[in-house]
Structures are given as structure tokens and as C-alpha cells.
Amino acid sequence: MSEQLSIVMAQLNFLVGDIEGNTELILTSARRAADEFAADVVVFPELALTGYPPEDLLLRPSLKLRVEKALQRILQENLDPILVIGFPESTGDEVYNSLLVTQQGDIAAKYRKQCLPNYQVFDERRYFVAGDTPCTIDLKNTKIAFTICEDLWEVEPARQAKDAGAQMLININASPFHTTKLKERQALVCKRSIEEGYPVVYVNLLGGQDELVFDGGSMAASEGQLTCQIPQFVEGLFPLQVQIDTMGVCRIIKQEILPSLSLEAQVYEALVLGLRDYVMKNRFSGVVLGLSGGIDSALSLAIAVDALGAEHVEAVMMPFAYTSQLSLDCAELQANTLGVSYQIIAINEIYASFLDALKHEFQGLNEDVTEQNIQSRARGVVLMAISNKKGLLVLTTGNKSEIAVGYSTLYGDMAGGFDALKDVSKTLVYRLARYRNELQTGLEVIPLEVIQRPPSAELAPGQLDQDSLPDYDTLDNILEMYVEHDMSFESILEKGFLEADVKRVLRLVDLNEYKRRQGPIGVRLTQRGFGRDRRYPITNGWSLGE
């Protein structure tokens, strides 16, 4: 006679370091899973107890005591469902990235992650020691194995589980988002289910943590086919029904699988989630940003409102002599459409005061980019003052293309706490702006004039971005090859770009590493974002070439 097994995937948003709060979320969710779905097993993400990544919190002397206290609290609840919980396990001087399987107040099994990633945004070998043995439990006439995140990307842990008699694999994850990651995960989960001949259940973390966004997208696969795909960017408890035959062979009952989100939808949801969690988890009351009438600040404002609500967003237009009437009109129109607090604070007198204070220093020197930067820095002073006074986070609005080549001002438009567009290329900015307008029929959240006008910093008369940069299609293609794929000068030239453009762009990227080190963090979207991903020396003698 066959058995039914109810597995609940807890795709939840945990706060790094809040062990007590995370413990309560685990317990509350486990009770809900039992009450609402008659759960036999509730599966939580990787390092759910501490949140991911805990980084150097893992080095704190009190970590072991706090984790042990939390685990005791969970065991004392004596809950009916089996719980699968990711936690850091300290044994003497060694720390493991582990999972605990609890069953009615007892420890049923423990597994230590074997494959510790140490690339891109990961540096787990700094903290953890690798495990080396499989872990299985017997439940309802079947044998279930467990692994953690990177273990699924390597062959050996899944093969060990199969050799240990596993008839199903549950893999817990903290896998951060980038634009192609969901497809990569789907292909991997399906591949493992074919290779090892058992169903694979994949449970992923949700939420923003500094630069990283965890998009969820938990899933299950059998015989190379997805049987369940949980939506990305949605928090909740999601049940799976598993049929177990008399020989213990498992079959996951297939659910309806919704189409994947478009690239624009995925990126936009990641930006909204990343900004919301950064603001809320750091207990800011809201954000303030400079609204210039340009495309970047317009998109940033829309993201902020969608993340936090209009009542938590303040937009400030800071005009100067070179600010066009079109910029003033577009900024006011968008602010009114979205219903945010909107102020106009002209910087003419602030700028004049700076120049007056510097007149002896500047005596006999020609006007140059210095005066343009003072305009930008005057605006930075205004926004930071509002931030200090009102407890608002300054949201900067620079995109990846500009940040890459240094088309930004230190202590000016780079002054702030978070940049939602930090890993968004200029060409993608336009696509996202159009996408956001399409979400609400008949409502132009971002004025069409903003999307259609030529981009300009408006720091000088008649200034346009393309006066000093290649067109953005060319720029973004070169940047993708150099920044995200580490292609050489010669290799990029072979793609058909002008030598002068390639040389100039690559040189600007290299020269402006010092600026990027001092800029705010922002959401990581690509496989090579500035920040945790790409770490080049500021001081170096590297020359262009192969």
C-alpha cells in the first residue's frame, strides 16, 4: 500500500544575526505548516538560524552559545513535523555549515556541507570546515537524504547519497539572484534527478542582504522534469505531495508550473526586494533622493515607491542655472503621479558660497570640471543634511555604465547609502522604465519625455552624456565583455569595436576603481557586479592587451 508524504518548502526571509527572531520565525512557520498543510516535513533554507551570509559574525565568541540556545528552544517545542534547519555548527575550533533534522524534540540526523564555494560573492572557506559524509533518515517506508546548496553543483555528494540508499534528496539553499540563475538551477535540479534516479527537492532563501538578493524560486524535479516551481520573490510556505510506493520509491505529484518571469520583471522585482529589505532591516524610516528629471532618478523613484510606499519617499529637485524647464516639469509630474513628498531646493546660492570660499584657491585658474563637480557636491550636501535631520536613507541613482567609467562625482551624486541601479546598465535602465510603465495601463509612472530625451547631467550648457562617452549600446557591450567576462583589450577589439572606443572605456574602468570603492552598495544583478564580485587593486601597473 502506498504512502503519502507532505513536504512544506519554507521559502522565507530571515534577518542576518537575529538568531532569536529567526528562531521564532522557524517555530511559527512550522506550526502553520502543520496546521494548514498537515506537514510531515518542513524544510528551511541554508543557515536559516543565522541568516545568510553571516560573514564575520561567525567569528564572534558568543555565536555558539546563541545557536545552542536557539536549537534547544526549537527542540523543547516538541513539534510534530520533522524540521530541516540550516545552522552553523561549532565544535571546538571548527565551524561547519550544517543542517539539523529534528523529530518530535529529538535530533534525528545532522549533515555537514561538503562543497564550500569560494568564488564570486562566496568565501565560505574563510569560515567553515568541509564535511565528508552523507546523511539519510528513514521516513514512511522511504529513505531521504540531505545536502546543502553547493553540494548539488558537485557530483560526489549526490552520488554518496545514492550509495547510502537515498530514494529522495532534499537540498537547502541560500542561492543569490542574478539574471540567468533560475534557469541554471532548474537545469541542475533536473540533471541530478536523472543522474541519481531520485526526486530532488530544492528549497531556497528569500530576501535582500546588503548587495545580495535571494529570489526564492524553490522547486522540485523527478526524472529530469520539473514537478514544482515556486514563484520567485514570493515569501511563504509551499506544500509538496509525495507518493511513496511499497518499495519506497518516491514520486512527487506534479503541480501547475507558471511561466518564468521576463528578464525585466525579474530584475525589477530584485531591485524592489533589495531596496525594501535594506531600508526595513536597517530601520530607516524611508528614503530621500534627488529627482533630476532624468531617466535614472525617475526609475529609482518608481522602485522606491514600489518598495516602500509613497509615504516613505521624499524627492528633491535641486535646480541650477543649467537645469532645463523640461527637467523641472518632468520631475514635478512624476512626483505628483506617484504621490511622494516633493521639494524644490535651488543650489545657486550654495554653489556661489562654495566659489566665494574658494576664490583665493582658484585665482588665476580657468574654469573646468571642478565647477561642475561643485554643483553635484552641493546637491550631495543638501541630501545628506535631509538624511541626518529626518533619518532618511539617501538613495543614489547612478547606473552601472556610469559607475564603471567614473561618470559620477565623489561626495556628490555618489553620496548616499544605497544605489538600487548600481548593477543596472544604462540600456537596461530604459527597458526597465518601459516595463514599469506597462505594469499599470493608462498610468505613465515615468513620463514619456524622460524616456525619450537625450541623457544629460546638466552640469554645463547644452551638455549631453554622449559628448564624452560612446553611445550607450556600444559602451554597455564593451563593459559587459570587460567587467563581467574579463575579456582582454585585444579580444574585445576582435568583436568589431573601434580601437579608440575600447581603449578609452577600458582605461576609464581601470582608473575609476578608487571611486567605486567609496560608493554606496547596491543590488547585485549580474554574475560580476561591482563590490563583492569584482575586486581589482586601486594601485596597479597593469597595461591593456592580452
In this structure, the strands spanning 3-11 and 41-43 are: parallel
Are 215 and 185 a contacting pair, CB within 8 Å?
Answer: no
Structural element, H or E, at residue 364: none
113 has catalytic annotation: yes
Tell me how crowded residue 141 is: count the other CB atoms within 10 A of its CB. Answer: 17
Distance, first Cα to last Cα, the chain: 66
The active-site residue out of 46, 89, 196, 269 is 46
Tell me phi and psi for residue 507, to 5 degrees. Answer: -65, -40
Strand-pairing partners, residue 148, are 172
The answer to whether 140 and 5 are in contact (CB under 8 A) is: yes
Among the listed residues 113, 162, 400, 422, the single catalytic one is: 113
Q: Say which residues have a Cβ less than 8 Å from residue 308's Cβ, sequence separation at least 6.
A: 275, 276, 279, 286, 287
3-state SS assignment for residue 461: coil
Helix crossing, 325-338 with 295-308: angle to 10°?
10
135 in catalytic set: no
For residue 11 the three cell numbers come to: 521559502
Q: The cell 543649467 sits on which residue?
A: 322
Question: Cβ distance 322 to 459 under 8 Å?
Answer: yes
Tell me which of 89, 115, 135, 149 is the catalytic residue. 149
Active site residue 3: no
Q: What is the largest CA-CA distance in the chain?
A: 95
- 172: nearest Cα among 99, 236, 230: 99
| Catalytic positions, written as ranges | 46, 113, 149
